[in-house]
Chains A and B, each alone.
Chain A
Amino acid sequence: MSIGAKTLVYGYGNPGRQDDGLGAQCIKKLEDWLVLHPHVELLTDTNYQLNIEDAAAISEVQRVVFVDASIEDIDGFSFTSIQASDAKVEFSMHAVSPSFVVDLCQKIYGHTPEAFLLHIKGYEWDFKEGLTPSASQNLDAAFEFLLHFLNPNVEK
């Protein structure tokens, strides 16, 4: 079953750095959920960080949700719309932000998908696998929100 717009959910971060793996862990939960809901058509992807080639990837979908860990002072998670015009100068970085990817997509391909960022609060970033308990709780809440956002009518 299509959930409407052709959608990519893209988690990023390093799962070898504790809560920096929130993006990848969210995608794993989503892929596990998709196994139980094989009728749902949804694209997923993960990487250590976003980069310029992701402009090509998102140019092929109508909607993209980026999922990332956050050190910001947010209440569990936040969900925001991304505009190409939000892109900031990010010269000299090996990685780029979601708004940068969206902006680059617009400049190169002349169109962008509807884009969102799901930011999930993390707490610890050491050289370990696995999320902290607090980050796991935030992930659970963010994941419920994500499923509802993707399609309020899809059963959980």
Chain B
Amino acid sequence: MSKKITIEPVTRVEGHGKVTIHMDDSGNIEQSRLHIVEFRGFERFVQGRPYWEAPVLVQRLCGICPVSHHLAAAKALDVIVGAGTGHGLTPTGEKMRRLMHYGQFFQSHALHFFHLSAPDFLFGIDGDPAIRNIIGIALTHPELAVQGVMMRKFGQEVIRATAGKKIHGTGAIPGGINKHLTIAERDEFLLGADPLNADKMVSWAEGALDFFKSYYAANKDFIDNFAYFPSNHLSLVREDGALDIYHGVLRAVDTNGKKILNDVDYQEYADHIEEEVRSWSYMKFPYLKALGKEKGWYRVGPLARLNTIDFIPSPIAQREFEIYKALTHGKPNNHCMMMHYARLIETLHAAEMIRELLHDPDLLEGELVIKGTKQKEGVGLIEAPRGTLFHHYRINDNDQIEMANLIVSTTNNNEPMNRSVNHVAKAVMTGKEVITEGMMNAVEVAIRAYDPCLSCATHALGNMPLEITLVDKNEHIIDRKRSK
């Protein structure tokens, strides 16, 4: 009897995704899809609005990573106000934005590790769901729970100090930034009472990485084989090949490390990247034009970034990067679960960069904004925690936005997430009559490795609890399980 299994996230504001898994009569997995079932079309909501409003408007998209959208929009508008891209800003403008971005990276990656992924490692992916979260960690490893909470808090405070406030931050404006860091704020981040200071954050980031490395040593088979498949990888890299999450050129490598997009100017992204529409999902499928739909899809995010770059420009993270790269003999890492390893190296890098930037006097004084000859069109790219984020705007003679195009990180990862779901579904559900919570979580573990934000992708608020429904060929429900 053929079956269809549906895993359906539920959100408070409509717009969500679900997973459907089709089983044939023999219990083999025929097809698995992560599909987005509603399209909200955020782009049309900014059309007609004055361009300078965009960095604040785009924060309506999502309460999960508003800073990423804030900065990507500001970078696109830098081009429009004639401030150029990246290094065209004043030193203060660029460094304050970088500090904001590293703060966002740090808190976002910390949340993912301590709240979303570490529980799988500590309790097993088929462990008791009642404790398979940070509350369970607080019961069994209280020191880790405290670290997760305080690392989030530290990152949030960095954002507040640079963006101005937690909701609808206004820090980044076209051509620069609207404030300096105060001496009191700097001293608080550098010299704050234990544990809320930069030295402790670096130390804890190293500890989290050590935790994962120990787990990997003891669970190598699981990490290496869970949802493994080869892919291309895409990200920004600094002009000299360094990891740079704020600015650089666009590079892609294939599964063996060969460059397939060779450090191009992201203003010309549309010459290289196209988005495919498929009938069963409102989330598009981006791919490299030169390679076509079948071979041109790619991964973005921590795994991809550490596959495209040549080195990390902070000493402790670079040391860890060398250890990490040695695992694959310098070749790209295509192991889905190594996304966690890569994410923790980036967490450490973000902590180091925050500490380094806080010693820079340009944060405390200097020109905030620069402008030049206005342009009609601009593209802003940053590496959001989840991957490459594209913002593209064109304005009319009345300074109103007449075209906006956003490609968010989760959309860039659409194809690899679908493949990951398919791999895991085949591995754990083939021939099974009843879907257990552990099987359901295994599918979610594969999706979760990418840290997707359906809020961004569907432009709705972003919760992702799952519902799995096992349906027979007549659409009768055989079994249903739900994680809230």
Contact = CB atoms under 8 A, between A and B. Distances in A.
Interface of A: 13-17, 20, 24, 45-49, 51-53, 55-57, 71, 87-95, 100, 103-104, 107-108, 125, 127
Contacts of A87: 135
A53 B463 contact: no
19 contacts: A14-B167, A20-B13, A49-B63, A52-B149, A56-B149, A71-B12, A88-B484, A89-B132, A91-B483, A92-B444, A92-B448, A92-B464, A93-B464, A93-B465, A94-B64, A107-B135, A107-B145, A127-B45, A127-B459
Contacts of B115: 52
A52 B145 CA distance: 9
Interface stretch (B150-158, B260-268, B279-287): B150-158
A28 to B, nearest CB: 11
A88 B107 CA distance: 23
B57 A16 contact: yes
Contact of B133 (A53, A57, A90, A94): A90
Given A53-B153, A104-B149, A127 B12 contact: no
Given A92-B465, A92-B483, A52 B13 contact: no
Given A56-B149, A92-B466, A107 B142 contact: yes
Nearest to B129: A89
A43 B152 CA distance: 21
A13 B62 CA distance: 10
Contact of B40 (A20, A48, A51, A127): A127
A92 to B, nearest CB: 5
Interface residues of B, number: 52
Nearest to A69: B12
A67 B302 CA distance: 35
Contact of A107 (B138, B150, B167, B464): B138
B213 interface: no
B150 A56 contact: yes
A94 B135 contact: no
A55 B57 CA distance: 29
A46 B167 contact: yes
B153 A95 contact: no
B59 interface: yes
A7 to B, nearest CB: 20
A152 B463 CA distance: 37
Nearest to B114: A52
A118 B469 CA distance: 33
Nearest to A21: B167
A69 to B, nearest CB: 8
A20 B461 contact: yes
Contacts of A125: 12-14, 461
Q: Is the interface of A mostly helix, strand, loop or mixed?
A: loop
B63 A91 contact: no
B142 A53 contact: no
Most buried by B among A15, A48, A95, A107: A48
A88 B483 CA distance: 9
A84 to B, nearest CB: 9
Given A15-B168, A108-B146, A48 B60 contact: no
B152 A51 contact: yes
B370 interface: no
Contact of B149 (A17, A88, A108): A108
Contacts of B150: 53, 56
Contact of B116 (A13, A71, A91): A91
Contact of A91 (B119, B142, B459, B461): B119
Contacts of B139: 107
Nearest to A11: B167
Contact of B461 (A14, A53, A103): A14
Contact of B60 (A14, A57, A108): A14
Given A14-B63, A48-B166, A91-B116, 17 more contacts: A14-B167, A16-B57, A16-B60, A17-B60, A20-B13, A48-B167, A53-B156, A89-B129, A90-B133, A91-B483, A92-B444, A92-B448, A92-B464, A94-B116, A107-B138, A107-B139, A125-B13
Contacts of B129: 89, 91
Given A15-B168, A108-B145, A56 B153 contact: yes
A11 B153 CA distance: 17
B378 to A, nearest CB: 22
Given A51-B152, A94-B462, A104 B135 contact: yes
Nearest to A97: B484
Interface string B149-186: 11011001000000000111000000000000000000
Given A90-B465, A94-B453, A24 B135 contact: no
Interface string B279-307: 00000000000000000000000000000
Contact of B462 (A13, A51, A95): A95
Given A17-B461, A53-B150, A127-B40, A91 B132 contact: yes
A108 B462 contact: no
Contacts of B462: 94-95
B148 interface: yes
Contacts of B455: 94
B202 to A, nearest CB: 18
Closest 4 CB pairs of A and B: A48-B63, A16-B60, A107-B138, A53-B152
Contact of A104 (B13, B134, B441): B134
Nearest to A27: B167
Contacts of B453: 94
Nearest to B63: A48
Nearest to B454: A94
A88 B132 CA distance: 11
B383 to A, nearest CB: 18
B122 interface: no
Contacts of A100: 135
Nearest to B60: A16
